[in-house]
């Protein structure tokens, strides 16, 4: 199966997520273009196989057991080009570090808040990623998607973006961003300021999947968890970060079941059924 495409079978899922947690997966396939992606999707449909679109794995928790779904990695959808003045097309597989470097080189301002986030553009847009009072939806013109084997462009006004969420159910192929011209020095300063702030306030040196929970009803999960004195609580090798209570970190050998147990523990102790921001795969 998928013999015509680049793939890895019986894949170690730990190598494909920033949490460094997970068992083995059935297969991960790397389409090089939309033509191959369509063929792979069709093959999945014909064989009654479910698939999961994987970006840079910065927001997912893989299971400890065998993951039977086909994983489609869009890492090769990595093209970036300037369409016209201050408008940039970015492929879904482009990492935010790479995008920010490109924008700096071309004196384009607007996405500095994303500097330091280990995500790819497709996943970041799908979940409406954001930080420091800004979010990616504020800078989008159009999103290029694959729907029912057809390429469609969704205008910004056609997409329902909300806090760390969107209603995009299609496969994101790329995004057009509307940005602003700015002096390179000022862009670089902003990028470094945001990166430094992340390193100062977040467990940047630990394996994690970012913020575990979404804010809800004006409640900031990290503050609530900290108020209940839960920083540093461990189950197995998973720990509620001592640096930022909104993160659960892997100290080296954590299992998915450890993280899930901590999530359950937090909800029990706080009495709040927080909604997960991380994607929990089963």
- Name the residues annotated as catalytic: 164, 211, 277
Instruction: Reduce the DSSP state of residue 90 to 3 states and report it.
Output: strand
Alpha-carbon span 166 to 137, nearest angstrom:
9
Tell me the β-bridge partners of 181: 108
Eight-class DSSP state of 219: B
Alpha-carbon span 238 to 262, nearest angstrom:
8
Tokens of 149: 């084997």
Instruction: Reduce the DSSP state of residue 82 to 3 states and report it.
Output: strand
Tokens of 28: 């991960």
Q: What DSSP string describes 153-215? A: EEEGGGS-EETTEE---SEEEEEEEE-EE--HHHHHHHHHHHHHHHHHHS-TTSEEEEESB--
Tokens of 59: 């927001």
Contact 143, 168 (CB under 8 A): yes
Please state the φ and ψ torsions of residue 164, each to the nearest 5 degrees. 55, 40
């Amino acid at each position: 199966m998928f013999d015509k495409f680049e793939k890895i079978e019986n894949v170690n899922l730990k190598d494909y997520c920033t949490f460094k947690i997970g068992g083995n997966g059935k297969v991960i396939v790397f389409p090089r273009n939309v033509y191959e992606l369509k063929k792979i999707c069709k093959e999945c449909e014909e064989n009654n196989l479910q698939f999961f679109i994987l970006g840079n794995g910065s927001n997912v928790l893989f299971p400890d057991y065998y993951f039977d779904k086909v994983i489609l990695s869009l890492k090769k959808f990595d093209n970036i080009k300037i369409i016209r003045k201050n408008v940039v097309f970015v492929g879904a597989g482009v990492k935010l570090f790479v995008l920010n470097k490109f924008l700096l080189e071309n004196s384009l301002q607007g996405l500095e808040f994303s500097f330091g986030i280990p995500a790819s553009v497709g996943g970041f847009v799908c979940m409406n990623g954001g930080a420091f009072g800004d979010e990616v939806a504020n800078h989008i013109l159009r999103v290029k998607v694959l729907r029912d084997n057809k390429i469609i462009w969704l205008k910004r006004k056609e997409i329902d973006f909300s806090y760390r969420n969107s209603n995009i159910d299609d496969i994101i192929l790329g995004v057009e961003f509307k940005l602003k011209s700015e002096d390179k020095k000022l862009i670089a300063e902003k990028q470094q300021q945001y990166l430094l702030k992340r390193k100062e306030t977040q467990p940047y040196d630990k394996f994690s999947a970012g913020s575990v929970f979404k804010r809800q009803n004006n409640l900031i999960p990290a503050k609530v968890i900290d108020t209940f004195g839960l920083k540093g609580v461990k189950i197995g090798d998973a720990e509620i970060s001592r640096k930022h209570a909104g993160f659960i970190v892997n100290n080296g050998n954590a299992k998915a079941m450890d993280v899930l147990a901590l999530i359950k523990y937090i909800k029990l102790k706080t009495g709040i059924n927080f909604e997960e921001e991380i994607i929990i795969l089963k």
